[in-house]
Amino acid sequence: MKSGFWRYSDELILLGVSLFLFLVASNTQAGWLYLLNSILLGTLLAGFIISRFSLRGLAIERRLPFIASEGETIRVTLRVLNKNRLASYFFSIEEFFPAASPENLKCGRMFVFERLPGKATDFVTYEAECYKRGIYTFPPLRVSAGAPIGFFNAIKALNVPGVLTVLPTAPALRDGHFSTARFESSPHNTARMRSGHSHDFLGIRQHQPGESTRMLHWPSVARTGILMLKEFENPVGSQVFIFLDTNRRFHTGLGKEASIEYAVKLATSVARHALLHGQAIRLMAARQGEFFALKTRDLLQALRWLAAVEADGEMETEKMFVKLNEEIPRGSRLMLILPEPSVNPELFVPLMDKKIKCHPLLLKTETFIENIESVAPAPDESPQQEVIILNRMRSLGLSPVVCGRGDDLLRCLREQGGLFK
Amino acid sequence: MKFKFKIHRHPPEHSVPFRISVLVMVLVAIVTTLMQQFEWPSWGWQVLAGTIAGFWVSYLRREKNNWWIKLIIAALMIWAFYDFFRNLLLNVYDPRIPLTSFLIWLQTLHSFDLPSRRDLNYTMWVALILMSAAAVLSRDMTFGTALIFFVLCSIYPLYFNYLCALREKAHLPPLTRWNWSFGLYSGTLLIIMTLSLVIYLAVPRTRRINMRPLPMSFTLHLPRFGMGRIKNPAYPSSQSGMLRLRRIFNAGAYFGFNAFLDLNMRGRLDSEVVMRVRMSNELYLRGLAFDFYDGAAWSFSRETTQELKTLMPPIVAVPAKTDGIFSELSTGSHQEIQIIHVEKELPNIIFSAYRPWQLYFPSDYIFSDAFFGLRSPFPLEKGMIYSVVSLVNEFAPARLSRSKSLRYPPGIRELFLQLPSLSDRLKKEASDIASRYRTPSHKAQAICLYLQNHFQYDLDIPPFPQNAETVDYFMFVTKRGYCEHFATAMAVLCRLSGVPARLVTGYTPGTYNPLTGYYEIRNKDAHAWVEVFIPRFGWLSFDPTPGWSPDPEESEKEQSFWLASMLINYLKETPLKEVLEASARFIKSIATPAQRSLFRSFYLKGGILVVLIVLVMFFSRRWWKKLSLGKSLKTPPPGKLPPGTPDEFRKSIVENYLALCRTLKAHGQMKNAGQTPLEFIRILPPQLPQAEIIDLTLLYLEARYSLHTMGPGEARTSKSLLEIVRRSFREKTG
């Protein structure tokens, strides 16, 4: 599409022709040429005015599901309303679906309206595949009109707010992968949360048959006549901590095959499995120099959090570990998803001193680099160095698992199954 | 070494309505151009048929490789080019006809190779060029009708062109139907016409013709004959000098273009157009000058002519010695160009503004009589074109007034003071009018004004008595007459006052047609006026007929062709006159003479107009805002509520959803933390109120995760959905 000055190249040529005709008319006194010239200019001016008028009074709304999953095809509907009394002609709307694949990202969808009567509404619908997880904001719609003869095409950027959250998908962990003996099963195949022994009051809920009556909430019982239990925040043992190192310096790869995507998928699988079995999760990551954490029992909330994760962290690894040490209670279970180059086994020592059981998953980031042959290895990234690091971690009592591009994520998680034991 | 030729091919255009509309536009342009030529060419119908056939072939073969067609077209175009140059060389002074013919053939040949929309666009451009060429050729109002038709036809292809481009961009199938809103068409046409009219009125128009060489018809190389005798086809019996033809008046031709001028001829000339002239100013076109007056008619005292010839145009007109023109008299004059199109057969008189200097005439020789009347070797035929460059005097009145010299060149007094025997009262009258003035120019002006103010113009006066002296009878008996009488009277009175004068016949400028740019001269514009010899200045024209300008300076007055000025002049006749005059007085009071002079300059007028338009646009903020692009709103970060969004309705919807979850949980359908809301509703048993649960879930997601504004309506909806679900459960358990 022509842009800038060249967008009006045809019109400028016509203006040049008009000027030439005027000069010829002036020199030859050919009266009809003046009139022809005036008609030419009048046509250009009419095109300029009518095209801008066609854009006035157009209002557009977008309807779409706000949550979708990776790879899911969603339907987007645009509702176009003409607020004018007169009809609008020959305008087009170009929509750029933000969650499209990279090759389709710049290809907008164009919808042409030959005529939209005054005070009338029209709908256009299209389907689009959500390529990758993320939180996407729809860019402004490009509305253009050149009615009726295509001169001085008016283009207007119409901002129709729209946010689409594409949740990450990940292979589902099955119970057989881990030992879940701590959980009681119910007829409805749902896990029940046990009241914890901490002092964090969570709320009250109805007493279920078979449960202890030690923590009855007597005021509610007296008021309602129904047995109601006090609920406390689950103790340390029933919470899963998941940490993602999002340091931009270490993550590599593009698109869906980027190392950060693998990290998110791993975290998604673990989080979903934990929530499915009634465990609360605490997701942690460093984003743009700040440490972010989410404590939740809501899968959708967790998935939204994970959808927003990007490899944009700027916090030093040492600082992250210090922060982890501060945040995570003693005796907790912590899954760390780290890009391999950032790993310093000594940083685990303070955590282990605090009896925090660390389960590191290392991402072999060099496997995510396209055209790896053209990249010279860093001096300290020799294969021997990797072995040294892994050995050191094992010597500290850790069980690191290395995951590269193309590896089976479930296998990696199974190898790290100690998280749920 | 490998060569790769990549031919960039545009996609073929499949839309039939578009092609037909372009074809109609092109045919209108071709027909208009052909009609502007003097006669319809023999190949005209072939061209039209060929264009239609070409469009048909182009449509049928739009997707095929037409290399052989392109070869044929190229060969034919070379032939057309050769033919154009051949015709051009026959007459390099009028390339318009060969050029338009070449363009038409170009268009016809090109129509056989129009596969894509881009080629059809080029065709539209050529049609516009053809119309421009026709506009240059056109001399009458028929082009106006064709132009309107062209505009009506050209909106359709422009519309189709745009729509086809739009549909192609949107990957839609080609346009196959003709449906178009009459409202849009008529609205577009109205806007275009209105804007065009405003621009047409506002655009300043210059007054100078700047063309070289000037156009003329094909040169005729005829053998010399006649030696310049006057041949008037309307009065064939008057070929030999002094033969008088009485009472045989021809309304289609002026009797003054003969060897003599009978002052007793009566009749009204018709309104047939005899000439169309392009000139910068309103100039009288001089034909013949008479010097001998016998009391009832004018004639030539000398029939000698001199031949003016040239090998290459232009012919330089050289006056005879008896005309009294010397070289120093050429100072103080400027060039005026006249391009004359002969519309009717005329006598062999070359009409031009005095004093002709260079002629572009379709003959390699002409004749000049003793009084600088130019004559053609053949009568002027319809369709003939010739051009004249005249040196028109521009003398300031003050300068004229200072000329008290009475030194006339040899022969002037003898020829141009001749008079028959006149009455004493006539001589006294002449003395009374002119004796108080000392300079010849003042005398001439006084006589001219006297005649204009004291006598009436009347075409219907009866013939004078046979023995009556024309001027005496006119001035003292009838006191009415027409141009010949007024001119004769002035010439006689000037001669009586000692000022050499002669009677001249020719044409007035006629009516200016602003659309064609031509002065249309009709039979009835034939006129007679006087030329007076002022020592050191030469012959100056005076027109004593009432209603015409008496002052030689007036005829050289700058003519403004700015139609806005004409409109203002028209408005002066309306009640707006007072407002316009008050505005003019105000401007005069604050502006110096130099500023006023500058203000009259059309360049400044145009510039002021443009500045005014720009200022109006600039300060019209409301219009400016609407023309500008829409402003982008600041998008809040994802997941965050936009500022100012009412939270209460969102909270209400969220609470209703949580209440739904609790209700479902109470009936054994507990939403697991490891399930998203959508995953949860997928596993619900079918006997539950699915629709309401789904709607409430979607509403919850919108309230929680979208940027949409939630209003009381949505909150009420969520509440009602919850109630329906609860009621459903109550009914089941109840």
pLDDT in tens, B487-502: 999 999 999 999 999 9
Q: Above pLDDT 90, what percent of chain B?
A: 29
Question: Chain A residue with minimal CA distance to B137?
Answer: A30
pLDDT of residue B622: 55
**Is residue B711 within 8 angstroms of chain A, CB to CB?**
no
Averaged over B466-493, what is the pLDDT?
92
pLDDT of residue B64: 87
Averaged over B43-67, what is the pLDDT?
92
Chain mean pLDDT for chain A: 80
A73-82, A370-379, A402-411: which has the minimum mean pLDDT?
A370-379
A30·B155 Cβ contact <8 A? no
pLDDT band for position A267 (cuts 50, 70, 90): very high
**Is residue B46 within 8 angstroms of chain A, CB to CB?**
no
pLDDT of residue B38: 72
Chain mean pLDDT for chain B: 81
B394-413 residues touching A, CB cutoff 8 A: none
Q: Roughly how many angstroms between the first and final C-alpha of chain A, as a whole number?
A: 59
B163·A90 Cβ contact <8 A? yes
CB neighbour class for B592 (10 Å; exposed up to 12, middle 13-18, buried from 19): exposed
Question: Chain A residue with minimal CA distance to B703?
Answer: A66
More confident: B507 or A104: B507
pLDDT of residue A417: 62
For residues B502, B506, B512 and B516, what is the CA-based torsion angle, rounded to 10 degrees?
-140
**Is residue B628 within 8 angstroms of chain A, CB to CB?**
no
Q: Which residues in A lie closer than 8 A to residue B191 (C-beta atoms)? A: 46, 49-50
More confident: B136 or B329: B136
**Nearest in space to A136 (alpha carbons), one of A110, A163, A158, A157:** A163
Q: Which residues in B lie closer than 8 A to residue A276 (C-beta atoms)? A: 672-675
Averaged over A7-33, what is the pLDDT?
86
Q: Which residues in B lie closer than 8 A to residue A308 (C-beta atoms)? A: 638-639
Sign of the C-alpha dihedral computed for residues A146, A152, A153 and A154 taken in this order: negative
Averaged over A154-168, what is the pLDDT?
89
Q: How far is B637 from chain A (nearest CA, A)?
A: 9
pLDDT band for position A202 (cuts 50, 70, 90): low
With b for 16 or more beta-carbon neighbours within 10 A and e for fewer, the A90-109 pattern comes to bbbbbbbbbbbeeeeeeebb
B632·A52 Cβ contact <8 A? no
User: What amino acid is encoded at B679 in this protein?
Assistant: E
Tell me the longest C-alpha to C-alpha distance in chain A. Answer: 110
Q: Above pLDDT 70, what percent of chain B?
A: 78
DSSP state of A295: E
**If you search the block for the tokens 């046979």, which residue do you land on?**
B466
More confident: B478 or B625: B478
More confident: A231 or B500: B500
- Are the C-beta atoms of residues A299 and B676 closer than 8 Å to each other? yes
pLDDT of residue B598: 54
B629·A42 Cβ contact <8 A? no
Is the pLDDT at B559 greater than 60? The verdict is no
pLDDT of residue B460: 85
CB neighbour class for A323 (10 Å; exposed up to 12, middle 13-18, buried from 19): middle
Averaged over A333-353, what is the pLDDT?
85
For residue B137, report the phi and psi dihedrals to the nearest 5 degrees. -75, -30
B144·A39 Cβ contact <8 A? no
Which of A3, A7, A36, A51 has the most B C-beta neighbours within 10 Å, making it the best mutation to test the interface with B?
Answer: A36
pLDDT in tens, B260-291: 888 888 788 888 999 999 988 888 999 999 99
pLDDT in tens, B301-333: 888 888 888 877 788 887 766 666 554 444 557
pLDDT band for position B246 (cuts 50, 70, 90): low
CA B368 to chain centre: 35
Sign of the C-alpha dihedral computed for residues B369, B371, B374 and B378 taken in this order: negative
- Are the C-beta atoms of residues B12 and B63 closer than 8 Å to each other? yes
Q: Which residues in B lie closer than 8 A to residue A163 (C-beta atoms)? A: 638-639, 705-707
Is the pLDDT at A298 greater than 90? The verdict is no
B65: Cβ contacts below 8 Å, ≥ 6 apart: none
Is the pLDDT at A125 greater than 90? The verdict is yes
pLDDT of residue A54: 83
DSSP string covering B535-589, please?
TTTEEEEE--STTS---HHHHTSPPP--HHHHHHHHHTTSTTHHHHHHHHHHHHH
Is the pLDDT at B369 greater than 70? The verdict is yes
Q: Which of B196, B205, B676 sits opposite A299 (nearest CB)?
A: B676
Q: Which of A25, A146, A163 sits opposite B638 (nearest CB)?
A: A163
More confident: B110 or B398: B110
B325-354 residues touching A, CB cutoff 8 A: none
Averaged over B73-77, what is the pLDDT?
94
pLDDT of residue A327: 84
pLDDT of residue A421: 54
A298·B673 Cβ contact <8 A? yes
pLDDT of residue B558: 44
B638·A308 Cβ contact <8 A? yes
A102: Cβ contacts below 8 Å, ≥ 6 apart: A131, A255
pLDDT of residue A390: 85
User: CA-CA distance, B198 to B195, in Å (whole number)?
Assistant: 5
pLDDT of residue B214: 77
B166·A92 Cβ contact <8 A? yes
pLDDT of residue B570: 66
pLDDT band for position A183 (cuts 50, 70, 90): very low
Q: How many C-beta atoms surround the C-beta of residue B164 within 10 A? A: 21
**Helical (H) or strand (E) element with B653:** helix B647-666
pLDDT of residue A76: 93
Is the pLDDT at A273 greater than 90? The verdict is no
pLDDT of residue B130: 93
B208-237 residues touching A, CB cutoff 8 A: 208-211
Q: Roughly how many angstroms between the first and final C-alpha of chain B, as a whole number?
A: 92
Q: How far is A254 from chain B (nearest CA, A)?
A: 23
- Are the C-beta atoms of residues B536 and B329 closer than 8 Å to each other? yes
pLDDT in tens, A384-404: 777 888 888 888 888 888 888
Averaged over B504-529, what is the pLDDT?
91
Is the pLDDT at A186 greater than 70? The verdict is no
Averaged over A97-118, what is the pLDDT?
86
ipTM reported for the complex surpasses 0.85: no
Averaged over B416-429, what is the pLDDT?
90
Is the pLDDT at A146 greater than 70? The verdict is yes
B669-708 residues touching A, CB cutoff 8 A: 670, 672-679, 698, 701-702, 705-708
More confident: A270 or B396: A270
Q: How many helices (H) and strands (E) does chain A have?
A: 10, 18
CB neighbour class for B529 (10 Å; exposed up to 12, middle 13-18, buried from 19): buried
Is the pLDDT at B555 greater than 60? The verdict is no
Is the pLDDT at B69 greater than 80? The verdict is yes
Is the pLDDT at B194 greater than 50? The verdict is yes
pLDDT of residue B451: 93
B192·A43 Cβ contact <8 A? yes
What is the edge-to-edge ordering of all strands in the sheet holding A163-167?
Answer: A67-69, A163-167, A134-137
A26·B205 Cβ contact <8 A? yes
- Are the C-beta atoms of residues B345 and B370 closer than 8 Å to each other? no
B181·A36 Cβ contact <8 A? no
**Is residue B168 within 8 angstroms of chain A, CB to CB?**
no
Task: Pick from B12-26, B179-193, B536-550 the range whose average pLDDT is largest.
Answer: B12-26
Q: What angle (nearest 5°) sits at the alpha carbon of residue A340, between those of residues A336 and A345? A: 65
B676·A45 Cβ contact <8 A? no
